[in-house]
Structure 1
Amino acid sequence: MDKRIMLVFAAVAMNFGYLLASQNMNCAQGYWGTDCKNACPERCSSVGCDKAAGSCFGCDSGYHGKYCDIPCSVHCRYACDRFTTKCSSCYAGWYGDSCNIPCHGNCASCSKTTGECLTCRNGWYGTNCSIQCSTEAGCYNDYCTKSNGDCSRCKVGWFGSKCENQCSINCSSGCHKTSGYCYSCSSGYWGSDCSNRCPNCHNGCSKGNGYCSLCRSGFWGSDCSNICPENCESCDQSSGTCLFCPDGLWGSNCSKSCKTNNCKICDINTGICKTCESGFWGPDCDNLCNNCSNEKCDISTGVCETCPVGFAGENCDIKCEISTCSNWLCDGKYGFKCSSCVNGFWGTLCEKQCTLSGKCNYCSKTTGICNSCLRGYWGTFCENKCREIDACIYCDRNTGRCNSCISGYWGKQCEHGCPKNCSENCYKSTGLCSSCTNGFWGDLCERKCLAGDGCLSCSKAYGSCNACSIGYWGSLCDKECPTMCLGGCDRYTGKCSYCRPGHKGVNCTSTCKGENCETCKGSDDDYSCTKCRTGYWGESCDNQCRSERCLECHMTEGRCILCEDGFWGDSCNRKCHERCQCCNLTYGTCRAPYSCLMYKATAAASQTDNTLVIVGIVLIVCSLVVPSLAFGLFCYIKRQNKQTTVATASEDRNVEHQSFSYTVDRL
């Protein structure tokens, strides 16, 4: 087909499509096309786009073009013309239609059309900001006016149009920019440029005329140029009359001596003594102070200012005896007072003893009558003994009647012993037991419990069993708990409280599954192991701990919770620092030696070794003593046998001799 014909068909199709689109002008805001399904370009302004062609009526800030898809120049400040692309304004430092030409290097901002500098950067001035501001001393913040370079403000200490002149050295806070007039002067100077020195002023002088507000000690006059009289410590600034004299002098010129020898300070006008030397008092300072701690007393009365420790009174002549006082006042003005005494003493100053016998705990401070006696005594002065029997702890202070007995006794005078089966005590008035020892009941605890030996304790009133001994149960505690119970069983049901390792069940008759399960719970359906043997973990305790160095591991997680000394970590595979005997399981930080297993084992071994040494010494002593005793016994027995044999032989010889004599006589 001819290309021209194809172009004609294309043009017709486009016009037809435009015609169709133009027939639908009711698309929603932001859409275009025959079916209004095409969205307007993204950068179209809120006005929208042409419903037939989709071209934008306006662009968002920073874009231009038919479809607002071309960005404006990067240095355009707000927006650019949609058709000419010219920027409405430029960012600082750029100019031109498209803001693509940089301003002069020292310009802070320049004209968008000509590029001429409008403002300069700090430190520069001129049409193109090419001239540097004064740098000898400098404008404040290096800023000067663009037209002529004059500084609008100077740094402290400088003045002039370009801040080229230095203020006077004695200006304390700078000077006027134009005249150089000092705002204030350094101490000791005055004048417009602070070049004049103040005379003998105290704390400086007036900046305008140099007049002193106060003179230095020893000078007077408006400018403090006059010298005070020779002996004056200070004089009146207007007249030169002495205001203060040295100790011992008085008069308008301080030329006269005080009238008494021991006077330290006297009146400057009359010469009458105002203060005496330490240790003296009186109008002529001829009286000695008493026992004052600092040798100072009132010039008129001689009363001490303060007393030495342990003394009181105006003249510090009262000695405070505080050993028997529990609360006292020892004061120069008020003297010595005791408000309460130490136990055993009484009197105004607690100077008297309650009783010479010492049987009184404490007594009345005013009368000395005993308020409380020592245990076992009574009477006004605790002079009587409660009873000859020592079973009475306390008795009435006025009557001597016994109020309280020691444990195990009763009666008015605690003369009777409590029944032997009372566990704690018996009532003082009746002798009845307050409670019984295990196995007995009754008012006097004279009856045995009704149950057998399995009854630990029974009711004191009825004899029925209250509690069973460990290993027994039942109302009479006559039934034995199952053999595998640990810690006894329920008194009423016989169910075991706990099972021995490796057993389970109500009566602990069933065994745990697996040789490594130490304790377990539940039946076959919900059986579970609650504790594994050392070195194993898991629900069935069939997993070994992670390391041989792991002495104990977590039952469900398998991580180590106890390592050998010198190792740490979840698997006990990390070595402690070489200086540590043992360390923290989690962080590896060193622990105190006494917390290490080795230390505990060594301590136990040391105790064992000590025991073995003692046993060894005993055996050695026995091995030496026993043979010696045996040898001595053997010698003793042998000697006795020998003596017996000699005696027998002697008797035989006597018999033979007698027989021979008898035979001779017969012949």
Structure 2
Amino acid sequence: MRLLTLFLLTGLSGLVLASRVEKPSPRAHLVCFQCPYVTRPQDCRLVTSKCHTCKIEQTGNYWKLGCGEHHCNGQECCRTNLCNGRLTCPSGQYPGAEDGTCIPCGHCLGGAACDSDGHCPNGCEPGWHGIGCDQNEGVTATPPANLDCPPGRYGSDCMSFCSGRCYLGSVCDAVTGECPELNGVRCIPGYQGLKCDQPCDAGRYGPNCVNACSKNCYNDTACYSDSGFCPILGAGMPRCKSGWEGSFCQLDCERGRWGQDCTNVCSAQCWDFSPCDVVSGNCELFLGKPRCASGWSGYNCDTPCPRGIYGEDCLYNCSGHCYHGAACDRITGFCPVTHGDPRCASGWRGETCEISCPHDRYGEDCVQVCSSHCREGGLCDGVTGFCPLLPGQPRCEDGWTGAKCDQICSGGESEACVQKCTNHCYSDNACDPNTGVCSPVGSNPRCKAGWFGERCDKPCPPGSHGVDCQQICTGHCYHGAACNPVDETCPQLNGRARCEPGWQGPKCDMHCAPHTFGADCSSLCTGECYNNTPCDTVTGACPSIPGQPRCKAGYHNPYCEQTCITGRYGADCLQVCSGNCINGSTCNREIGHCPIPESGPRCEAGFFGESCEWACNPGTHGEDCNQHCSGHCYQDVSCEPITGRCPAVEGVRKCEAGYHGDKCDIVCEGGTFGENCQQKCGMCSGSSCDPVTGVCPGGCQAGYSPPLCTSTTPRL
């Protein structure tokens, strides 16, 4: 017998040797073996592996060995008189040598004939394996047709690669390339198909892609196909639609929160502290109940009642009778009492100043008593205190005079007190010497500006001015004070302001200039309003414009004077810091970026980005994610982003073959190999085995067989 070496298998780390006995067969008519087309002629060789470096010539559709003067390894390629044809063997045999010998096929399954290379097309009989089904090492079960394919390859020629995505790192079928099912799972998360070579369809994730993504991802984006997490599309972008939170966006907002990722806080002004809508932030509206607490209105109950309005949802009008036109309290409707001033304007009383004075009282808060000398028996006007003047009758009882009948006639006259002409007749015209009536001259009016009546002895009523009191005051005097009846100017009393908030000028008829507000427009806007928008000329608050923030980034409250609290940033301080800045430092209140220290990282372990809002990418870990995983975690999973340790599988931390340690960054040593270095090397010669495969690179000690040197060599 003679030993023949078998083929060198592509992808194996070493040579797999086997022996077989070549049996003689009938001589064929022609000897030369014609090889199928290959890329390089020198790769064409006989089954015996001889003459594989001979010069090759192409004839027709075949390559054949050159003859004549061409040699290899000191031997002739073939006999020159047998180089003009193709060797043909009977069924069940194949060309095996250059001398015209046919060799019987091996133990092909079902007695099938082998091909011209000696390959069995359907696999081997039980107990046999190898390409030619001519190797027997005591195997009792029928091995796969391609038992000699290395892990990760399949197919008849072992040239196809497995997908590498079988569940739990399982090896694909050596014939079909299909991944096996383990407890009903075939593929790793994110892949599907028999070979696990197809990524999940959009909207699916997990092992075998059996899970449906959440429909609450922001902008209807698809979730990650491996984890099912909804993605964050960019810095400052939300993960979830309004009303949802969580990695899968499957949790609805907690009570009191709303919006994308539930980062917004419901208004504290919702009626009876009721919750707001998780999508829009609108305070919930219950049947028969108001939406907002007293003093507030709007869907979000964040708009204070305007001047002159109060109560729940701002549904009620103030009485309009507060002292000097002051606004009522927007919550209770009560008129204010300040600096010892009365609460109500003349003619009114009560907390809301909506009750008119009784007939015998008048003035502010109705605290003054009408004169008892009115001819109508103590009844007077509730605003002015004037006694009523009836047609054809005097105003006062005998002996009294004045609009209020509170002045005693001089000299004790009875009904008609001695009167003098007033000096308020127009152009100083004298009054009638008998009646005291001022007489108009030509087209001129009767009275000077500020006075009216036949005798021009009555000052203009509050709110009117000019000659004969025919004009109405148009300004906005402070606290509703009456304008000067002569020139319409507003009074400035006791050092107080002249004009109501929002107005300026002698007549208080000019709006405040931009960026000023308050009484007489004497105050400057100090808030950080969005886009430098002018503040409200009355209150000084920054305006609330639909569709844009109230305050610049870093500020909040109606006046935009307060900086963001720790953990908040952006316009109106509505954005929440990532919380991942190094050492718990707070983010920039304007843009949310974490501070850059003089030395060291910006972000806590497991996060990176200017705002430290991004979790480490697969393959990285640590502070600022600037450390790389070992790359040797089991099943090629990424390490933990904080510690860099490889994750445990079913409670056990596992590494790829050849490595061990928490981070799987320590190469096997001390004669070990495989996953977690748990296998012992065989009887290697000269050096330890390969830490990944266990193959002995220097061969085996005497008596052991390669490649693992774990079994003894059978004696021939």
Q: TM-score, with normalisation over the residues of structure 2?
A: 0.22
Q: Larger % of helix: which?
A: 1
Q: Larger % of strand: which?
A: 1
Higher RCO (CA < 8 A, seq sep 6+): 2
Q: TM-score, with normalisation over the residues of structure 1?
A: 0.23
